[in-house]
Amino acid sequence: MLKAGDLLVRDGNVPFVLLDASGLAARDLRAIPASAWWRLKQVAERTGCRIVVLSAFPLVPCANLRLSVSAGLTLEDFDLPRSELLSRLRAVPERIRRVT
């Protein structure tokens, strides 16, 4: 995932990269060194690319913004129109702890 993201960010022609880590094992994701995320962030800043990482837990130590997204949906809600589902979606900024 990081290698593919790195290639896209370094290209310079891709303004937005979405990395979906939600289906990966937490053990594997925690094994990614913080330095790998920092390098990806630095390249993205140089090229002007924006990166969004989807994960079930706080994963990227150098994130500038961290959002917790929830909707409180049930199986019965699958039949609702998209506009109704989107109105239930809540994105709350989380506090980012900086290591000094």
pLDDT 10s digits, 44-90: 999 999 999 999 888 899 999 999 888 888 898 989 999 999 998 89
Report how far Cα 7 is from the mean position of its chain's Cα atoms: 17
d(CA 70, CA 31): 26
pLDDT 10s digits, 4-38: 999 999 998 999 999 999 989 989 988 999 999 99
Q: Among 27, 29, 26, which residue's Cα sits nearest to residue 1?
A: 29
> Any idea what DSSP says for residue 92?
E
What pTM does this model have? 0.77
